[in-house]
Amino acid sequence: MSENQHLAHESSKTVTPDARNTGAENNRLYPEDRTFHDWYRFVLSFPAHLVRTYIDRFGLDSNSAVLDPFCGTGTTLVECKKHGITSFGIERNPIAHCASKVKLDWGVEPDDLLAHAIEVARTASSRLAEGGLHDVDLPLFSALNQTDQKLWTLPEDMLRLVLKDSISPLPLHRTLVLLEVLKERKDERFDAHERLALAKAIVFGISNLSFGPEVGVGSLKDDAPVVDLWLENIRAMVSDLRGLASGPFALSQVYQGDARYPDSLLKPNSIDAVITSPPYPNEKDYTRTTRLESVILGFIRDKHDLRSVKQELVRSNTRSVYKNDSDDLLVANHPEIMRIADAIENRRIKLGKTSGFERLYARVTKLYFGGMARHLSRLRHVLRPGANLAYVVGDQASYLRIMIRTGQLVAGIAEELGYKVTGIDLFRTRMATATKDQLREEVVLLRWTGSW
C-alpha cells in the first residue's frame, strides 16, 4: 500500500472537517456565512466553513498569501478577505470571474448604490408599464410578437446556446428592458454590482432553471417580478456593505486565465497556501450551469466565445475535448490512470456504446488527470517552501460505472511531482446517480517541500 493509499484508508476513520453535519448537509452554506458569499454562488461551490477549517489548520494569518486556482465564484477569496488574509484567484469562466471580483469589491458606498438602483428600478418599471421597448434602440435584441404585445428576445444564435425553455418570453422581455435601462443609466461605480445582482435574479427567480445532479428546466413561469427580484438582491448587497467595519481590507486579486498555468499569472515563491476545488472527472459541463446568465449579460455571445472558454479549462467532460488537446500525454506512463481508461473503453465496446461522446470517455479521463498534472507541475513555481495545499475532489463513476478514485489519483500525481501527501480528509459522502453507490468527496492535503 502506497503512502497516499494508506492515508486515504486512515482518513476514512476520521470525522468530517466540520463535525456539525455529514453528507449533503456538510456542503450547505450556513446562514451565518451568507454575507458576501450569497451575492452570487455557483451551485456546485464548496461551503465557506470548509475554507475556515483549513485556514485554521494551516495557521494562516495576515502575513500569509492564499491561492485558489479554480476559484469559481470566490468562496475561498471572500473567506480569506473576511479573515484579513491576502488572496489570489484564477478563473476562466467569465461570469464566475466577474462574480469573484464583485464579491471582493467592498469599496462601494452602499447608500449611493441603493439610490442609483432605485432610480434604475423606477425607470425600468415605468417603461414596462408603458408597454415595452417601442422607443428603445436594442440592436442586439430581436422583436417577438406575442398576444399583440411587442416583446424582446435574444437573437436566435444566442438562444441556441442556452437550454430550451430555460426562460419564458415575458420574463426575458422584462430582463432585457432592465438591462437596457442599466446601460442607459450606467455608473461605473455600481455597474458590476448591479449586473451581478441581475445574474443572481435570473438564476434563482426569473428563469425556469432547476438544479439537481444536473442543471435542467423545471416548471415554466409565465411571468416573474424581474425588477423587484433584482432590487431585492441589491438591498442584500447594501446590507452587507453597511455592516462592514472601516478598511483597509486585505488584498484580493482575481485573474481570468487558465489554472493549468498559474506561473504565467503569479510571482514566483509568493504563495503560502492553496485552498481549492477543481472540477471532477464526470460529464458535468460546468459552463452549462452558468450559461443562461452568461448569455443574457453578454459574457458569451456565440459559439466562438464558448469555445474560447472551454479551451482554457481542465478537461473534465467530453463536451470540452478538442482535437489538439495534449494533456493526456503527461499521464501516459501512469499505470492506474491507464488501467481505468482501458477499463472504460473495454466496457464501452462490450456495451456497444458508439456515440461521439461515449467514444471520448476514456480519453477525457486521461486528459483530466493530465490537466491536473500540468497544473500541479506549474504551480510549484509560485509556492513557497513549506506551503500547504487542500484540494477538494470527489470519486466518480460517471463513465460507464467504472470507479475513479479521484483523490487517491491526484495525491499520487502530486507525490511524483515532489509534493508530500499529508492526509486525505473525508469531507462528505454522496450517492452516485447511476449506481446509487456512496462516493467519497475528499480533501487531499499536500505540502510543497521545495524540492524538485
Specify the CATH number for the domain of residue 54: 3.40.50.150
Same-domain check for residues 233 and 258: no
At 452, the pLDDT band (50, 70, 90 cuts) reads confident
Residues 6+ apart with CB under 8 A from 71: 77, 89, 90, 91, 96, 100, 254, 276
Same-domain check for residues 161 and 198: yes
Same-domain check for residues 225 and 184: yes
The beta-strand segments (E) located in 183-311 are: 209-211, 215-217, 252-255, 271-276
At 6, the pLDDT band (50, 70, 90 cuts) reads very low
Q: What is the pLDDT of residues 323-369, one digit of tens each?
A: 999 999 999 999 999 999 999 999 999 999 999 999 999 999 999 99
Q: Could you tell me the residue range of the domain that residue 433 belongs to?
A: 3-87+251-282+317-448
Q: How many domains does the chain have?
A: 2
For residue 56, how many C-alpha atoms fall within 13 Å in the half-sphere facing its CB? 8
Single residue among 210, 242, 274 that ends a domain in this structure: 242
Of residues 369, 370, 362, 433, the one with CA closest to residue 397: 433
Q: What is the pLDDT of residues 51-110, one digit of tens each?
A: 999 999 999 999 999 999 999 999 999 999 999 999 999 999 999 999 999 999 999 999
Say which residue the cell 478514485 belongs to: 405
Q: Please give the grid coordinates belonging to residue 178.
A: 432592465
Same-domain check for residues 337 and 359: yes
Answer yes or no: is pLDDT of 11 > 60. no
Let me know if residue 97 belongs to a domain: no
Q: What is the pLDDT of residues 189-232, one digit of tens each?
A: 999 999 999 999 999 999 999 987 778 999 999 999 999 999 99
Contact 267, 102 (CB under 8 A): no
Same-domain check for residues 223 and 275: no
Mean pLDDT for the stretch of residues 154-166: 95
Say which residue the cell 497556501 belongs to: 273
pLDDT value, residue 30: 82
Same-domain check for residues 44 and 118: no
Lowest mean pLDDT among 131-140, 241-250, 377-386, 395-404: 131-140
Same-domain check for residues 116 and 216: yes
Same-domain check for residues 51 and 149: no
Per-residue DSSP letter, 203: I
Same-domain check for residues 208 and 258: no
pLDDT value, residue 27: 65
pLDDT value, residue 16: 44
What is the model's pTM? 0.90
Residues 6+ apart with CB under 8 A from 341: 362, 363, 365, 366
